[in-house]
Structure 1
Amino acid sequence: MNSEKEKLSILSEMIAFARVDNTVKQSEYDFLFSVAQQLNVSKKVFDSLFKEEAEHVIPKSQAERIVQFHRLVLLMNVDNHQDLIEIKRLHDMGLSMGLPPSAIQQVLAIMHKYPNKVVPPEVLINIFKAHYN
């Protein structure tokens, strides 16, 4: 399980991503809060991350990085709107986590084939597996 520092970093990174278009929509906030609940982070602590960012920690394992990338893809699509700024930022965040550029591109291309652009976890995992073999 992630340490408290890692959990806050995950949420802080996601909040920063949600703010890329200078606003956090209610649907984005609700999604972010559901992630906070899954990570057992209190609402008070979660809300404080909107005022002060947590220290950035890159997930240790490749699996944790892929899960975080998937969360970011879901967050980008939760409001049924993506723009070039969000796509570019997501791509850059994937690269900064050390994910293969070709896998990132494939996920961004394939998401349009699924309802609400939600790439099933097994599809996402298979994309990354193929790029690591």
Structure 2
Amino acid sequence: MINRVEKLSLLSEMIAFAKTDATIRSIEYNFLLGVSQQLDISREDFDYLMQHPIAYRHIESYSERIVQFHRLVLLMNLDNEPKEKDIIKLFDFGLRMGLSHESINKVLYLMDGFPNKIVPPDVLIDIFKVQYN
């Protein structure tokens, strides 16, 4: 289980990702707010992170890193047509989290084949599981 500092770091990372376009749309804001509630982060802490990002903290749990990458994929695809800079940024976030280059590429390649470009969690897990073994 991840601790509070790691949770705050994850959410801060997602906020930074959403701010790629300089502004956060209401659909992105609501998604981020929902993630903060899943992570048991208070509304006050969420609002603080919106204005004051915290430093990235590496998560030891491989499965938590996969979940975080999936959240980032979902966030990116709230824009029906993600821009190339969003895909590059997602790729960079995945590498920084220690995920394999091949797995990230496979997810990015396969997402176009799914409705709304949402890769189902079981497919995503299978992709990363193959690279992890």
The CA distance in 1 between the partners of 2:79 and 2:47, in whole Å, is: 20
- SS for the counterpart of 2:64 is helix
Any unmatched runs of 5+ in structure 1?
none
State the match for 2:26 in structure 1.
Answer: 26
The CA distance in 1 between the partners of 2:81 and 2:45, in whole Å, is: 28
State the match for 1:79 in structure 2.
Answer: 79
How far off its partner does 1:79 sit?
2.8
Count of aligned pairs between the two proteins: 133
The CA distance in 2 between the partners of 1:80 and 1:34, in whole Å, is: 19
State the match for 1:109 in structure 2.
Answer: 109
The CA distance in 1 between the partners of 2:59 and 2:116, in whole Å, is: 27
Q: TM-score, normalised by structure 2?
A: 0.96
Contact 1:5 1:55 in 2 (8 A): no
- SS for the counterpart of 1:49 is helix
The CA distance in 1 between the partners of 2:25 and 2:90, in whole Å, is: 18
- SS for the counterpart of 2:50 is coil
The CA distance in 2 between the partners of 1:110 and 1:56, in whole Å, is: 28
State the match for 1:62 in structure 2.
Answer: 62
Any unmatched runs of 5+ in structure 2?
none
- SS for the counterpart of 2:51 is coil
- SS for the counterpart of 2:2 is coil
Identity rate of aligned residues, in percent?
53
The CA distance in 1 between the partners of 2:27 and 2:79, in whole Å, is: 6
State the match for 2:44 in structure 1.
Answer: 44
**Residues 122 and 13 of structure 1: CA distance in aligned 2, closer, same or farther (over 3 Å):** same
1:92 partner letter: D
Question: Which consecutive aligned stretches of 4+ in structure 1 deviate over 4 angstroms post-superposition?
Answer: none
